[in-house]
Amino acid sequence: MQPTAKLLNKPGLFSNVKSRSCVMSPATASSLLPIPLKPPLAISGESYPLATTCEPDTPSSEPILNIKTSDAVKSAAEHVRDILRLCRSDNMGVRDILPSIYLRLGRDQDAYDFIKSSETTGFSSDYDFGDLNLPYLNIVDADVFESPHYLYGEFPTLAALVCVTLLKIRLLLDLVALMNAGCLARRLPQELLDRIKTFIPAVRTRPDQPLQVDELYVAVAKATKHFWPALLDPGAHLTARPEITSRGTQDEMQVKLQYCYDSWIETPGSIDFIKTMSAR
């Protein structure tokens, strides 16, 4: 199998990749969630970890894929954070949605901080969700270049694996762009070009990043055989409404794909990256 490191050196592989952006059209923020939520209780300045504040309503809103405005995505991020603040135990699993929303907003660091918090201390089996004095989702400025070994447990969280895979691919695409900064010399002021070049030595000291992408790709495939084929050819999976899901099933994949698909298509080059890896 050809490693990702060699794929990055393939001439023209990312020649059509443009800068990442979030291009959207008007819609309501609440519809970002795959099912609409009753408004959480307004308790000023306090957390209220009761499941009754997070009960789902009858599904009626359009899925996340139909929401294309940056304002809606920002509002949805705030809404999900409020749900987690009011319901720390997250009985609805909205923590699977938030990292992809952060990626859509270009908040890659926040996405990684949240995943590391939720997958380490935030939802550990011995965490007391009723003790509001305990730190909660409080990891800040975690090293996005580090190995995500903490995700490779016996029962990995599919949404976290997929999101970190995309985040690592975004890092690789950005690193490749930095390495190719010389092609911008004619269009950028020298001062700005010099500042860009200061990052290149640091980039060259992170040779483990392609290997991490390989490991994450394999981890997702082990978690469910359905995800990568569906990402490349989503079809009806984007509108499916599974009633019950379990680990490794197509139903689980459909739910998680709907959570994250927009973050993938809004990252130019990412799906082609996976297509190339899948063809190896």
> 93-143, pLDDT tens digit by residue?
889 999 999 999 999 999 999 999 999 887 777 888 888 888 888 899 999
Q: How confident is the model at residue 185 (pLDDT cuts 50, 70, 90)?
A: low
Q: Assess whether pLDDT exceeds 80 at residue 16.
A: no
- Could you tell me the CA-to-CA distances from 47 to 81, 83, 117, 243 in Å, in that order? 11, 10, 18, 30
The residue among 159 and 27 whose pLDDT is bigger is 159
Q: Assess whether pLDDT exceeds 80 at residue 219.
A: yes
| CA-closest candidate to residue 278, choices 245, 229, 241 | 229
Q: 18: Cβ–Cβ under 8 A, 6 or more apart, which residues?
A: 268
State the residue for tokens 């995309």. 166
Percentage of the chain lying above the pLDDT 70 cut: 68
| CA-closest candidate to residue 160, choices 259, 34, 73 | 259
Structure tokens at 280: 């190896």
Segment 159-170, tens digit of pLDDT: 999 999 999 999
